[in-house]
Structure formats: C-alpha cells, structure tokens
Amino acid sequence: MLVAGLAALLLAQGGSAQSQRAGGPAAPASRIEELRQSYRRPAEIPYPAANPFTPEKALLGRILFFDPRLSGSNLLSCASCHNPSFGWGDGQALAHGHGMLQLGRRTPSVLNAAWGASFFWDGRADTLEQQALGPIAAAGEMNQPLDRLPAKLAAIPGYRPLFEAAFPGRGIALDGIAAAIATFERAVVSGRSPFDRWVEGDDAAIPDAAKRGLMVFNDRAHCARCHKGWNFTDDSFHDIGLPGEDRGREGFLEGFEALRHAFKTPGLRDIARRAPYMHDGSLPTLEAVTEHYEHRRLQRPSLSNEMKPFSLTADERADLVAFLQTLTSPPQDFAAPALPR
Ligand code: HEC
Ligand code: HEC
C-alpha cells in the first residue's frame, strides 16, 4: 500500500509540480528511506581469501590490463575492448578482436566486477581469476598462446621486479598473471553518481523527474525485479525477449530450455556512457531500451516470468530515462599506466 500511495502521490504532481511533498507525509517518507537504504553503496570492495588485495598485485594487474604485448599481435590489450572512456566497454555494438574479427557479442563493462557472482553474458566463468586468461588465449580475441606468455613477459626486463614485488619468489607464471589482473579489476568501481548523493540524503542531487523515474523503475515498470541493489543487478540470467539466434545461458548449460536466450543481468552503473546496449548491442539509446521493455519484447516460452507487462505515459517514460541518467558518475580521470621496457 505504501508503494501505491507514493506512486499515486508522485503521479498526481504531474510533470511540473515539485516533489518536496515526498519528504512530508509519514508513509511516503518511510518508503523513500527504505529505498535509500536498499541502494546504499557498499563501504568496501570484497576481495576473496584466495587472492587478497595487495597494492603490488593491483599495480601489476593494472599494467598487464593495459599492455598490448599480452596479445599475439602486440596490438590488443584488455583495455582496447574494456576502455575506461566507454565505461570499461568499447562503445561498439559487437566486439572486434584479433585482425578486427567481429565477435558474436558486445563487450560488457568490467565495472563493479568485484561484486559479480559469475562472468560473461552466459555466466560461464565463476571467478575473475578463471576469466582472465580466456581472452588472452582466444584466437578471436588476443590470440596469444598461453604456454608462451610467461617467457614473453620475462623477456621484458621491467616486468621482473613487478612480478617479484607482487609474488615474491614465484617468478612469472600464468596463475600470477590471472591473480594480478583480477585484483586490478576488483578495484574498477563506479564513482559516486548524483543518485548516490541523493541516497546519502541530498534531496537536491537529482531532478524531480528522476525521483519520479525511480518510482516508475521500482513499481510501474518492474525494472527492479531484476536490476536490484546498489549495482542494479540480481546476478541472474533472464530472457528479456530480444530477437536473435544466440542461446545465451542455455548454450552453456545444455538442455535447460528455460534458460534459452537468457543473459546475465548487467548492472546499470555509468549506463549513460555504455551505449549501445544489450548482449548484441542492438539498442542504441536508453529510450530504445525502455521502448523494448514496454512494446517490443518477443513473447516466447523462455521469456522470464519477471517480465511483467506494463504501459507508461510519455512523461513516465521520460522520467524513467531521467532516473537512469542519474546513475552515471562524473568521468574518472584514468590515465593508462607507463608500460615496462
Ligand atoms: C576483443 C575485445 C576484448 C578483449 C581484448 C578483451 N575482452 Fe573481455 N570481453 C569481451 C567480450 C566480447 C566479452 C563477453 C563475451 C561473452 O560473454 O561471451 C568479455 C567479457 C569479459 C568479462 C566478463 C564481464 C562480465 O560482466 O561478465 C571480463 C571480466 C573481461 N572480459 C575481462 C577481460 C580481460 C581481463 C581482458 C584481457 C586479458 C579482456 N577482457 C580482453 C571483449 C574483450
Ligand atoms: C526479467 C529481468 C529484467 C527486467 C524486468 C528488466 N531487465 Fe533490464 N536487463 C535484464 C537482462 C537479462 C539484460 C541483458 C539482456 C541481454 O543483453 O540479452 C538487461 C539489460 C538492460 C540494459 C542494458 C544494459 C547493458 O549494459 O547493456 C538496460 C539499460 C536495462 N536492462 C534497463 C532496464 C529497465 C529500464 C527496465 C524496466 C523497464 C528493465 N531493465 C527491466 C534483465 C531485466
């Protein structure tokens, strides 16, 4: 009832009215407080016991992430596709790997990967450590035979002290490369956005349209059924009714037909910097995304049960997009590191 009450209140205010009243009546204020609590940023980055944080590992991982010599052609680094300027994606509909070969899926962001429960669009990797060597070896991506990578890096004198500092006495080995890259990735966290400032109590941090959009996101449009919590993901897999042949998680878990066309729910942090959207990059704008959910999703047996039908007014659609915009933080000045020689 509280939910419906606030939605009605906000709707009654229309496009031009102030939403100051939201802080007034007791019931809506408690709903807002509840929402603020549920969206609070975590205080710390979780590092696994098997690969705890050290500054030496994070530094080495950062250098490895930006070093194109991890690829067979010496032309592609992780950052070529996971570029900080594009919200740690590449800004393209589909990724391009070794020899500009087009891959079948869009590059996802590595932002907030420290909180991820599984990796890749179909969740086929369990940890960042497990994930890290995959793209290096993949013929279509960095095309670097793994058995030759440690010797290749050992031939660059500047790498030896970096590995020695990160992994004393262990030389240059694949598990160290993976552990260092994973440690660096965990430190890639989205910056504080206007929405975070609102969560922390600054009512003026986001416009009224975005405040109404937050309620549309949670209530009318059912977005929060899947995009949950401070990072806006349930870390689960859903078919949201996009056309295409990609079987998603079912391709990895053969025989689970309910998972056909199911892909991992992406977090929505820094979303305005990460167009185009979806695993196939098929939706160019946030307006196109909301249009998809409201009108364009395909009806088929595997469509997620969480995909509830809804319809919005033009104002509500604009409010929803205004809310999504507030999840984007100011650009972080992220200079590529100097590479060892
Ligand atoms: C050619 C572009 C390209 C390069 C180079 C590349 N990636 Fe990726 N990355 C992708 C694509 C595409 C996917 C999604 C593939 C899929 O889901 O099937 C992905 C997925 C990921 C994910 C999973 C993210 C998530 O939310 O599930 C991580 C983490 C990642 N890459 C890290 C790396 C690291 C580390 C490197 C360097 C060692 C690297 N990538 C190099 C394109 C690239
Ligand atoms: C049934 C769960 C579910 C619901 C409900 C849902 N989403 Fe999604 N969302 C997903 C999944 C899964 C993807 C990735 C789908 C894909 O690429 O095939 C996604 C992708 C997105 C993306 C693109 C993110 C990116 O990095 O490409 C945006 C933006 C988004 N959703 C916003 C919304 C909004 C706004 C709503 C409400 C109108 C909503 N979602 C409702 C599960 C859901």
pLDDT, one tens digit per residue, over 62-90 is 999 999 999 999 999 999 999 999 999 99
Q: Given a cut of 70, is residue 280 above it in pLDDT?
A: yes
Q: Which ligand is nearest to the CA of 322?
A: 2
Best substitution site from 141, 146, 174, 274 to test ligand 1's pocket, by max atoms within 8 Å of Cβ? 141
Query: In angstroms, rounded to a whole number, what is the distance separating the alpha carbons of residues 212 and 241?
Result: 26
Q: Are residues 151 and 234 in the same domain?
A: no
What are the pocket residues of ligand 1 if the criterion is a CB atom closer than 6 Å to any ligand atom?
70, 76, 78, 80-82, 95, 97, 103, 105, 107-108, 110, 113, 116, 119-121, 128, 131-132, 135-136, 141-142, 181, 185, 264
User: Residue 142's pLDDT is what?
Assistant: 96
Q: Within a domain: residue 49? A: no
Q: Within a domain: residue 331? A: no
* Residue 11's pLDDT band (cuts 50, 70, 90): very low
Q: Within a domain: residue 339? A: no
Q: Are residues 27 and 61 in the same domain?
A: no
Q: Are residues 237 and 302 in the same domain?
A: yes
Please report the atom of ligand 2 found closest to the CA of residue 279.
17
User: Residue 100's pLDDT is what?
Assistant: 84
Q: Are residues 64 and 167 in the same domain?
A: yes
Top-confidence residue, 305 or 11: 305
Q: Is 266 in the pocket of ligand 2 (CB under 6 A)?
A: yes
Last residue of a domain, one of 161, 186, 211: 186
Q: Are residues 37 and 61 in the same domain?
A: no
Last residue of a domain, one of 186, 211, 229: 186
* Residue 91's pLDDT band (cuts 50, 70, 90): very high
Q: Is 197 in the pocket of ligand 2 (CB under 6 A)?
A: no
Q: Within a domain: residue 202? A: yes
| Residue whose C-alpha is closest to residue 227's, from 126, 105, 241, 236 | 236
Q: Within a domain: residue 13? A: yes
Query: In angstroms, rounded to a whole number, what is the distance separating the alpha carbons of residues 196 and 134?
Result: 34
Query: Ligand 1 mean position to 107 CA, how many Å?
Result: 6
User: Residue 3's pLDDT is what?
Assistant: 35
Q: Are residues 310 and 207 in the same domain?
A: yes
**Angle value at C-alpha 186, between 198 and 174, nearest 5 degrees:** 170
CB 28, CB 9: distance < 8 Å: yes
Query: Ligand 1 mean position to 216 CA, how many Å?
Result: 32
* Residue 333's pLDDT band (cuts 50, 70, 90): confident
Mean pLDDT in the chain? Answer: 91
Q: Which two tokens stand for residue 318?
A: 């604009």
Best substitution site from 73, 107, 136 to test ligand 1's pocket, by max atoms within 8 Å of Cβ? 107
Q: Given a cut of 80, is residue 202 above it in pLDDT?
A: yes
- Sequence-distant (6+) residues with CB within 8 A of 241 are 261, 292, 296, 297, 298, 299, 300, 303, 307
User: Residue 54's pLDDT is what?
Assistant: 98
Q: Given a cut of 80, is residue 147 above it in pLDDT?
A: yes
| Residue whose C-alpha is closest to residue 108's, from 229, 280, 324, 241 | 280
Q: Is 276 in the pocket of ligand 2 (CB under 6 A)?
A: no
Top-confidence residue, 4 or 333: 333
* Amino acid (one-letter) located at 161: P
Query: Ligand 2 mean position to 167 CA, how many Å?
Result: 40
Q: Are residues 15 and 105 in the same domain?
A: no
Q: Considering its fold, how many domains does the chain have in total?
A: 2
CATH, residue 30: 1.10.760.10
Q: Given a cut of 80, is residue 39 above it in pLDDT?
A: yes
DSSP collapsed to 3 states, 15-30:
CCCCCHHHHCCHHHHH
* Residue 293's pLDDT band (cuts 50, 70, 90): very high
User: Residue 228's pLDDT is what?
Assistant: 97
- Residue nearest atom 10 of ligand 1, based on CA coordinates: 107
Q: Are residues 227 and 321 in the same domain?
A: yes
Helix/strand/coil for 326: coil
Query: Ligand 2 mean position to 198 CA, how many Å?
Result: 23
User: Residue 19's pLDDT is what?
Assistant: 40
User: Residue 334's pLDDT is what?
Assistant: 82
Q: Are residues 93 and 158 in the same domain?
A: yes
Query: Ligand 1 mean position to 102 CA, how many Å?
Result: 14
Query: In angstroms, rounded to a whole number, what is the distance separating the alpha carbons of residues 117 and 341?
Result: 36
Q: What is the pLDDT of residues 92-137, one digit of tens each?
A: 999 998 888 899 999 999 999 999 999 999 999 999 999 999 999 9
Q: Within a domain: residue 332? A: no
User: Residue 4's pLDDT is what?
Assistant: 36
Q: Is 277 in the pocket of ligand 2 (CB under 6 A)?
A: yes
Q: Are residues 110 and 227 in the same domain?
A: no
Q: Given a cut of 60, is residue 25 above it in pLDDT?
A: no
Lowest-confidence region among 25-39, 91-105, 176-190: 25-39
Last residue of a domain, one of 162, 186, 210: 186
Q: Is 180 in the pocket of ligand 2 (CB under 6 A)?
A: no
Q: Is 240 in the pocket of ligand 2 (CB under 6 A)?
A: yes
Q: What is the pLDDT of residues 220-275, one digit of tens each?
A: 999 999 999 999 999 999 999 999 999 999 998 988 889 999 999 999 999 999 99
- 120: burial class by Cβ within 10 Å (0-12, 13-18, 19+)? middle
User: Residue 255's pLDDT is what?
Assistant: 85
- 174: burial class by Cβ within 10 Å (0-12, 13-18, 19+)? middle
End-to-end CA distance of the chain: 64
Provide the domain limits for residue 93.
55-186
Share of the chain above pLDDT 70, in %: 92
Q: Given a cut of 90, is residue 6 above it in pLDDT?
A: no
Q: Within a domain: residue 337? A: no
Best substitution site from 51, 62, 80, 120 to test ligand 1's pocket, by max atoms within 8 Å of Cβ? 120
User: Residue 23's pLDDT is what?
Assistant: 35
Catalytic site positions: 141
Q: Are residues 101 and 201 in the same domain?
A: no
- 330: burial class by Cβ within 10 Å (0-12, 13-18, 19+)? exposed
Q: Are residues 240 and 269 in the same domain?
A: yes
Task: Note the residue count of the chain.
Answer: 341
Query: In angstroms, rounded to a whole number, what is the distance separating the alpha carbons of residues 333 and 180?
Result: 22
Q: Within a domain: residue 208? A: yes
